[in-house]
């Protein structure tokens, strides 16, 4: 290896080491948008809180590109927010909060190195958090927990820790401890550095929080009772939960916990510092065969999301690529794993909601938006040098099914194109069968809201108004050609081919499936697990 190459390699490793690529997982309303704003605000990526996520009359930049999102105050699409803090580059990937879009979240979680699990202090672990946590466990992602809304009445901190341990089996190791009960919050004790961080409310809350580091003695004098309680609790915590443990955190067996409130900016800086210090930097990523490609190997990236028409003014299609190894230089010609064809990266961008900037160079952990990348599909790899393929990104099993037909037959071509587009983006899964024909494909979704998005997009982007007819199926199983043949004449059951070639048998109820399995144990009917 020449001296220049060695310097280059070192550059990639050093750049990777200062990347933190993560997502926030939470139940809707736990405060994810607020926290995202607060994190970016601390890092000064934006000048005023409220400029990141649109909710209500706040100006939306990152993710509410669709009118539907604005109306409902949910974020459907995921975008990446990039900011620098303490010499580190943060890539914060947005995940949709609504359960119906878990599929999207799955893909985002394939592109991160760690997550922040955000809990509402009054609610603890909620259903969507549990579901998303399962994905994190499956992917062995390390989890930092942030207990939010401590400025409001909520539950006891010890009770919340207990819930984390009991329900998801993660050992909580608090890094900070609240002084004053939820709703009457004075600040936190910093367990690792010692001392007390005092919070003072600032009017409006949308500015950098007033926080002050004071000595334990001074704090004790100011908040004697609350302080005594906190100290007592901390003794208990030290005895039961122990201290932060890097190995079990990395293995997904323990979670560092911080207490704060995103809205008045309490504890947000500590969260950023924790991500800097403890969250993992990008590591060599295993390929489909289980081999790892070094971080400083030639460029390789994973397409984890494809999104069309993010901005109606642009009407384009963007593939989001997570850089896994090497240095990405805009303009380089790489190879597309699915076709083996060269792919030019002239239109590489950094996407910040509707704002875009040309992205010239990127390193492991970074997210590159490739504009008009029509041939790229979720799960594909792009690489320079030796070929690489990544393991398939898992998907949730659909539970809702509907046929979709064009209402206006003169728009059939646009309808077809639209359905193909939705399929390639994974907005819905598209199933086809000979019996039903090509004009009436079946859309399969995890949650019914996906149908609304599909219908809305077909109508508004492709100008192809559609009719949706819900089907009475509620679960799908993977079968094979022999199974499909055997099921052809079975009543209540239909077999379809999915876009990726998988054969899916749809059942109206679990009971119907069970009875069929009992009578025909020879028919292959596998649960739809990761990657099938
Ligand atoms: P989400 O993205 O997870 O769905 O949650 P979001 O940030 O929109 O927060 C949900 C609600 O909780 C918002 O109130 C938000 O202001 C509030 N919130 C978030 N963090 C905190 C916190 O630390 N303390 C308190 N007290 N409230 C918090 P909203 O009334 O539903 O919306 P908005 O009109 O304020 O935007």
ipTM confidence score: 0.97
pLDDT value, residue 202: 65
CB distance 271 to ligand 1 below 6 Å: no
Ligand 1 centroid to Cα of residue 260, in Å, is 13
Within the chain, which residues score under 50 in pLDDT?
1-7, 46-66, 68-78, 205-206, 530-532
Which one of 263, 264, 270 would you pick to mutate in the ligand 1 pocket, going by the greatest count of ligand atoms within 8 A of its CB?
263
Ligand 1 centroid to Cα of residue 34, in Å, is 6
Ligand 1 centroid to Cα of residue 174, in Å, is 23
Q: Is 99 exposed, middle or buried (0-12, 13-18, 19+ CB in 10 A)?
A: middle
pLDDT value, residue 277: 95
Ligand 1 centroid to Cα of residue 55, in Å, is 9
Task: Give yes or no for a contact between 139 and 110, defined as CB atoms under 8 angstroms apart.
Answer: yes
Place of tokens 């915590």: 237
pLDDT value, residue 380: 93
* Alpha carbon distance 409, 298 (integer Å): 49
From the list 127, 108, 122, 100, the residue with the least C-alpha distance to 26 is: 127
Q: Which two tokens stand for residue 317?
A: 């299609």
* Alpha carbon distance 432, 151 (integer Å): 52
Q: Is 151 exposed, middle or buried (0-12, 13-18, 19+ CB in 10 A)?
A: buried
* Alpha carbon distance 117, 175 (integer Å): 15
CB distance 30 to ligand 1 below 6 Å: yes
CB distance 163 to ligand 1 below 6 Å: no
pLDDT value, residue 310: 57
pLDDT value, residue 529: 59
Place of tokens 């293995």: 251
Quick: pLDDT tens for 341-360: 999 988 777 766 556 677 88
Ligand 1 centroid to Cα of residue 168, in Å, is 25
Per the annotation, does 53 bind a ligand?
no
Which one of 23, 24, 25, 29 would you pick to mutate in the ligand 1 pocket, going by the greatest count of ligand atoms within 8 A of its CB?
29
DSSP assignment of 88-111: EEEEEE----SGGGHHHHHHHHTS
pLDDT value, residue 446: 85
Per the annotation, does 95 bind a ligand?
yes
Q: Which two tokens stand for residue 387?
A: 């070929």
Beta bridge partners of 306: 319
* Alpha carbon distance 18, 10 (integer Å): 13
Place of tokens 């010609």: 333
* Alpha carbon distance 380, 389 (integer Å): 7
Q: Tell me the pLDDT of the chain averaged across its residues.
A: 84
CA atoms within 13 A of residue 95's CA, in its CB half-sphere? 35
DSSP assignment of 195-249: SEEEEE--TTS-S--EEEEE-HHHHHHHTHHHHHHHHHHHHHHHHHT-S--HHHH
pTM of the shown model: 0.82
């Amino acid at each position: 290896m020449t001296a220049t190459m060695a310097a280059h390699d070192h550059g990639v490793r050093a750049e990777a080491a200062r990347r933190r690529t993560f997502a926030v997982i939470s139940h809707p309303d736990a405060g994810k948008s607020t926290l995202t704003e607060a994190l970016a605000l601390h890092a000064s990526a934006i000048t005023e809180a409220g400029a990141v996520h649109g909710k209500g009359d706040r100006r939306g930049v990152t993710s509410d590109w669709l009118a539907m999102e604005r109306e409902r105050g949910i974020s459907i699409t995921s975008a990446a927010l990039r900011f620098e803090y303490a010499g580190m580059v943060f890539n914060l990937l947005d995940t949709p909060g609504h359960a119906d879009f878990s599929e999207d979240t799955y893909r985002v979680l394939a592109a991160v190195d760690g997550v922040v699990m955000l809990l509402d202090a009054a609610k603890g672990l909620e259903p969507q958090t549990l579901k998303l946590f399962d994905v994190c466990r499956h992917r062995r992602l390390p989890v930092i927990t942030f207990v939010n809304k401590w400025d409001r009445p909520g539950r006891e901190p010890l009770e919340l820790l207990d819930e984390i341990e009991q329900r998801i089996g993660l050992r909580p190791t608090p890094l900070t401890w609240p002084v004053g009960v939820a709703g009457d919050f004075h600040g936190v004790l910093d367990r690792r550095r010692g001392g007390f961080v005092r919070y003072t409310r600032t009017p409006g809350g949308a500015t950098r929080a007033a926080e002050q580091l004071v000595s334990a003695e001074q704090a004790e004098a100011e908040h004697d009772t609350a302080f005594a309680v906190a100290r007592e609790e901390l003794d208990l915590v030290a005895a039961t939960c122990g201290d932060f443990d890097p190995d079990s955190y990395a293995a997904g067996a323990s979670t560092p916990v911080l207490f704060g409130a995103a809205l008045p900016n309490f504890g947000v800086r500590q969260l950023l510092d924790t991500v800097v210090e403890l969250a993992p930097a990008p590591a060599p990523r295993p390929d489909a065969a289980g081999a790892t490609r070094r971080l400083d190997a030639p460029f390789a990236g994973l397409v984890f999301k494809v999104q069309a028409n993010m901005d109606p003014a642009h009407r384009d299609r963007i593939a989001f690529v997570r850089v896994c190894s090497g240095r990405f230089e805009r303009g380089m010609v790489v190879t597309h794993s699915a076709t083996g064809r060269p792919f030019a990266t002239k239109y590489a961008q950094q996407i910040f909601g509707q704002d875009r900037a040309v992205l010239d160079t990127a390193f492991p952990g970074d997210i590159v938006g490739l504009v008009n990348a029509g041939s790229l599909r979720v799960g594909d790899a792009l690489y320079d040098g030796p070929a690489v393929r990544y393991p398939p990104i898992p998907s949730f099993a659909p539970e809702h099914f509907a046929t979709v037909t064009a209402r206006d037959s003169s728009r059939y071509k646009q309808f077809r194109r639209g359905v193909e587009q939705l399929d390639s983006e994974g907005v819905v899964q598209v199933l086809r069968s000979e019996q039903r024909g090509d004009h009436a494909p079946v859309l399969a979704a995890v949650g019914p809201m996906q149908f609304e998005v599909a219908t809305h997009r077909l109508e508004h982007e492709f100008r192809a108004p559609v009719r949706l007819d819900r089907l009475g199926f509620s679960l799908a199983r993977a079968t094979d050609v022999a199974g499909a043949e055997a099921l052809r004449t079975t009543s209540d059951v239909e077999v379809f081919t999915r876009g990726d070639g998988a054969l899916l048998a749809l059942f109206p109820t679990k009971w119907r499936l069970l009875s069929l399995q009992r009578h025909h144990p020879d028919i292959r009917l596998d649960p739809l697990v990761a990657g099938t």
